Structure 1
């Protein structure tokens, strides 16, 4: 963490919504070890921001939030996965690496997650259903005043100095809408680049949010036509990564709104799609 870093929490009201963004220090080792045990993982990302979050909550209690612990619950920690195969490929390409054997563990050491957020509420929750509707990107390009903006890092790992694995979320609030981008970015040097994006969009006159999940991936050997400088810039490299999966969902508000908020989280991984 940068010298002089101060924890912060920012709140913003958007109609009936309360938007909260918290940025704090890296999780302490003792707590990280406990959480790793609960998640059945040998270790957590090097920089684990367990108290960082972005929360979007309606005055009636339902909503959605984004946090690191729930995101890691969506990491597949079983053996025999394509991610482990990727680790073996990495081992072959870097047989001289000092930490290679440390990296090959019976879990997804890249921390790849298909997390799309944690639903809030108990009696009242957002109803998730497939949709053919799409986020209107032209509206997002319109020059509209940005009333609130925040970016929160949830976790990051440098993969023993051979790449990066990170998860971050940012929100932009305009007078008529808000837009969220949750991005998982993975770069294994010389092997693979992967990006899982979740976009969430709500217009103030609508009774729903639109959520779009897109997974992109490419072997580095297939990116010889791309400037290497783009490999470290997610916004630049994304256009060169083939789309592997896309899921469009509508998150509809409850028909009956309860004035008393309740918050019981339910994380959204791909198995709940």
Structure 2
């Protein structure tokens, strides 16, 4: 612990209760147990659905705030499931589906007319909060006509920088939700963060695996190189 504190201090970082502050960024994460029945019912009403993943870590989150600009990037299960609901993808047709049509309500026939894999286009929740300067001047982003938007670009992630031997000042992996699809596969949404003295790297990944290889389907890292890229886009956050 003392060694970690010394490394963080030498990099100009300040440890926070759930993360750290470095180079004008506050980076924090928090992990909690899955939602209990009462909270699940509230989520179902708000999202307007009778279906949620088996394990929803509703109070778990990852948060990044750029203090100078007020840019806040937040990752949470609720917004991700809102994205799933709005996407309204058709159900995936798999042979096993017929075997677990009754899993939600054994006393009633359940029609799988929704995407039970919970596939989401969610890429994070970004907002523009008052920056330090705006607070001092008592103005808000609305008054300055500042808005956040993602725009396509040619820039790519600097993989060389990621492969450097810089010390990792902070690392965490937060599971947002998971469903084992009645032992017929897995749907998993996770977000990982790695903070180094010169940069931070974040990976939000939705994974849908099928247990053709029971030793590998639960670990996307084991088969990621075998998958063909069907769509790729580079974007940057602008305001």
Partner of 2:203: 181
Partner of 1:37: 45
Cα pair 2:57 2:176 within 8 Å, conserved = yes
What is the CA–CA distance in structure 1 between the aligned matches of 2:60 and 2:219, rounded to whole Å? 23
Partner of 1:235: 221
- How many residue pairs get aligned? The number is 201
Can you give the 5+ residue segments of structure 1 that lack an aligned partner in the other structure? 1-8, 191-226, 255-273
What whole-Å deviation, never above 9, does each CA across 1:69-108 have from its counterpart, x for those lacking one?
A: 0001111467772xx1x23x334xx65x3x2344752221
TM-score by length of 2: 0.76
Using a 3 Å threshold, how does the CA distance of structure 1 residues 182 and 188 change in structure 2: closer, same or farther? same
Partner of 1:160: 182
What is the CA–CA distance in structure 2 between the aligned matches of 1:13 and 1:126, rounded to whole Å? 22
What is the CA–CA distance in structure 2 between the aligned matches of 1:105 and 1:243, rounded to whole Å? 28
Using a 3 Å threshold, how does the CA distance of structure 1 residues 229 and 189 change in structure 2: closer, same or farther? closer
What is the CA–CA distance in structure 1 between the aligned matches of 2:44 and 2:207, rounded to whole Å? 21
Partner of 2:59: 51
TM-score by length of 1: 0.67
What whole-Å deviation, never above 9, does each CA across 1:119-161 have from its counterpart, x for those lacking one?
A: 0225244442100111011211111111111111111111112
What is the CA–CA distance in structure 1 between the aligned matches of 2:18 and 2:187, rounded to whole Å? 26
Partner of 2:151: 129
What is the CA–CA distance in structure 1 between the aligned matches of 2:86 and 2:154, rounded to whole Å? 32
Cα pair 1:149 1:171 within 8 Å, conserved = yes
More strand by share: 1
5 Å-filtered alignment, 1:21-170, equals 21-59=29-67, 60-76=69-85, 81=90, 84=91, 86-87=92-93, 89-91=94-96, 95=98, 97=99, 99-102=100-103, 104-121=111-128, 123=141, 124-170=146-192
What is the CA–CA distance in structure 2 between the aligned matches of 1:71 and 1:120, rounded to whole Å? 15
Deviates more, 1:63-72 or 1:114-123: 114-123
What is the CA–CA distance in structure 1 between the aligned matches of 2:159 and 2:148, rounded to whole Å? 23
Greater Cα radius of gyration, structure 1 or 2: 2
Cα pair 2:64 2:72 within 8 Å, conserved = yes
Using a 3 Å threshold, how does the CA distance of structure 1 residues 80 and 231 change in structure 2: closer, same or farther? closer
What whole-Å deviation, never above 9, does each CA across 1:225-260 have from its counterpart, x for those lacking one?
A: xx66332321111111111211210113x4xxxxxx
Using a 3 Å threshold, how does the CA distance of structure 1 residues 76 and 241 change in structure 2: closer, same or farther? farther
SS at match of 1:182: strand
Cα pair 2:89 2:114 within 8 Å, conserved = no
